[in-house]
């Protein structure tokens, strides 16, 4: 930490010891944490981030604090046009960005890649400093043997999550839709949507956002329509416009996203469990011995290159498509109502 930077940080510490300036010191720390490195952030964007985090300050107050911080910290202020943009200088150490180890840097970058569509955009933006530091830590070094992070940097090229079916490109999501959806979901706010269903019919709807799920390359919003108490899944790429309301709702205590998934709702099921039995050729069904359909799955050989599989599963359209995908390698499919599991 540079001399000026150290002096400024000590000034913040002294301020925090005086009750009348504690709020100002906390505000400054929050601003420093939220100023990114690579891109510039405006006063308005920081104002919205702080408001969502519970810091109710007017725009002018935040502007004054940013001017002070840019004088004492390694922060660049782009005043060529309004609104002004702020970011940490390339070589600045920043604030609240720890000295990450190569292993921590690797984990952060892997998390960024897999969580970028599942976390609120503002929350991801507030982590920009950490991600930038992680990338710098795993960056190329000069000279052989001079890079202690070499093995960690190589690791992402050594592992990969692969598709279990034909890979598809993700559908295009309209600009601003994911940000508005994640903001409303995070803050339990009603969401106004302009939605176009699979048949092409378009209409405005008000929904209560309850969950966000990624299924293959697609993102789905689990929600309740205004005036209804059942859940639906809406494809984000079919949302033409989204706007988070200022109205807050009380999240239904009975709703559980994990149970929603377990009930097969993302596979177009209704949560009805059944006892499924079918015969499949040994060649086509060998993987079921290693990756069973359920914990109670049973497999027995029936001769002539066939085996019989029995398992308790959720009845869904996805299950039907899966069975049909085997073609003539599956026969004698039987379905029975599964007994209700005892409550524990």
Domains and CATH numbers, the chain: 3-88 (1.10.10.10), 102-140+148-157 (no CATH), 177-262 (2.30.30.530), 267-337 (3.30.70.260)
Of 225 and 110, more confident: 225
Q: Residue 303 in 3-state DSSP? A: strand
Q: Label residue 152 exposed, middle or buried (CB < 10 Å: 0-12, 13-18, 19+).
A: buried
Least confident interval from 92-96, 243-247, 338-342: 92-96
Residue 24 scores a pLDDT above 80: no
Q: Where are the alpha helices (DSSP H) in 59-127?
A: 59-72, 102-115, 121-126
Q: What angle, 0 to 180 degrees and rounded to 10, lies between the N-to-C axes of helices 59-72 and 43-52?
A: 110
pLDDT of residue 279: 95
- Tell me the mean pLDDT in the region 61-68: 87
Q: What was the pLDDT predicted at 92? A: 64
| Residue 248: per-residue pLDDT | 92
| Calpha distance 222→210 (Å, rounded) | 5
Mean pLDDT of the chain, nearest integer: 80
**What is the rounded average pLDDT of the residues 13-33?**
60
Integer Cα distance of 130 and 37 in angstroms = 9
pLDDT at 321 over 80: yes
pLDDT tens for each residue of 103-127? 777 777 777 777 776 666 666 666 7
pLDDT at 224: 94
Using left for φ > 0, alpha for ψ between -120 and 50, and beta otherwise, residue 332 falls in: left
- Residue 341 confidence class, pLDDT cut points 50, 70, 90: low
**pLDDT for residue 238 is more than 80:** yes
Q: Please give the pLDDT value at position 81.
A: 78
Q: What is the pLDDT of residue 204?
A: 95
For the chain, how big is the Rg over CA atoms in Å? 26
Rounded Cα distance between 178 and 118, Å, is 9
User: What mean pLDDT is predicted for residues 8-28?
Assistant: 53
pLDDT of residue 272: 85
Joined together, the tokens standing for residue 190 give 């009603």
Rounded to an integer, what distance in angstroms lies between the CA atom of residue 36 and that of residue 89? Answer: 9
Q: Above pLDDT 90, what percent of the chain?
A: 31
Q: What is the mean pLDDT of residues 30-50?
A: 83
Q: Which token pair is 278? A: 């079918």
Mean pLDDT of 49-74: 82
Residue 95: exposure state from Cβ atoms within 10 A (0-12, 13-18, ≥19): buried
Reported as a pLDDT band with limits 50, 70 and 90, residue 153 is low
* Mean pLDDT of the 297-318 span: 92
pLDDT value of position 117: 67
What count of other Cβ atoms lies within 10 Å of the Cβ of residue 248? Answer: 11
What does the alpha-carbon distance between residue 145 and residue 41 come to, in Å, rounded to a whole number?
38
Only one residue has tokens 């309004």, namely 82
């Amino acid at each position: 930490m540079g001399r000026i930077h150290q002096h400024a940080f000590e000034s913040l510490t002294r301020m925090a010891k005086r009750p009348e300036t504690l709020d100002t010191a906390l505000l400054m720390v929050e601003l420093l944490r939220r100023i990114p490195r690579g891109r510039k952030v405006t006063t308005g964007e920081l104002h919205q981030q702080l408001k969502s985090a519970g810091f109710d300050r007017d725009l002018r107050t935040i502007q004054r604090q940013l001017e002070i911080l840019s004088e004492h910290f390694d922060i660049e202020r782009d005043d060529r046009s309004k609104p002004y943009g702020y970011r940490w200088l390339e070589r600045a150490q920043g604030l609240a960005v720890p000295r990450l180890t190569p292993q921590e840097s690797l984990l952060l970058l892997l998390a960024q890649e897999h969580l970028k569509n599942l976390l609120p955009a503002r929350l991801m933006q507030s982590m920009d400093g950490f991600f930038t530091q992680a990338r710098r830590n795993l960056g190329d070094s000069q000279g052989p043997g001079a890079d202690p992070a070499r093995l960690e940097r190589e690791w992402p090229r050594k592992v990969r999550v692969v598709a279990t079916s034909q890979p598809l490109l993700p559908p295009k999501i309209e600009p601003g839709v994911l940000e508005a959806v994640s903001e409303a979901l995070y803050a339990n706010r009603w969401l106004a949507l302009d939605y176009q269903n699979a048949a092409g019919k378009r209409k405005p709807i008000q929904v209560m956002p309850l969950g966000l799920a990624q299924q293959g390359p697609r993102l789905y919003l689990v929600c309740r329509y205004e005036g209804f108490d059942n859940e639906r899944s809406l494809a984000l790429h079919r949302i033409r416009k989204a706007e988070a309301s200022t109205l807050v709702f009380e999240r239904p205590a009975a709703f559980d996203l994990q149970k929603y998934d377990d009930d097969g709702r993302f596979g177009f099921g209704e949560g009805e469990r059944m006892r499924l039995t079918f015969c499949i050729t040994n060649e086509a069904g060998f993987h079921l011995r290693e990756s069973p359909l359920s914990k109670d799955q049973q497999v027995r050989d029936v001769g002539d290159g066939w085996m019989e599989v029995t398992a308790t599963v959720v009845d869904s359209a996805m299950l039907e498509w899966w069975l049909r995908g085997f073609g003539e390698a599956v026969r004698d499919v039987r379905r029975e109502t599964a007994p209700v599991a005892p409550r524990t």
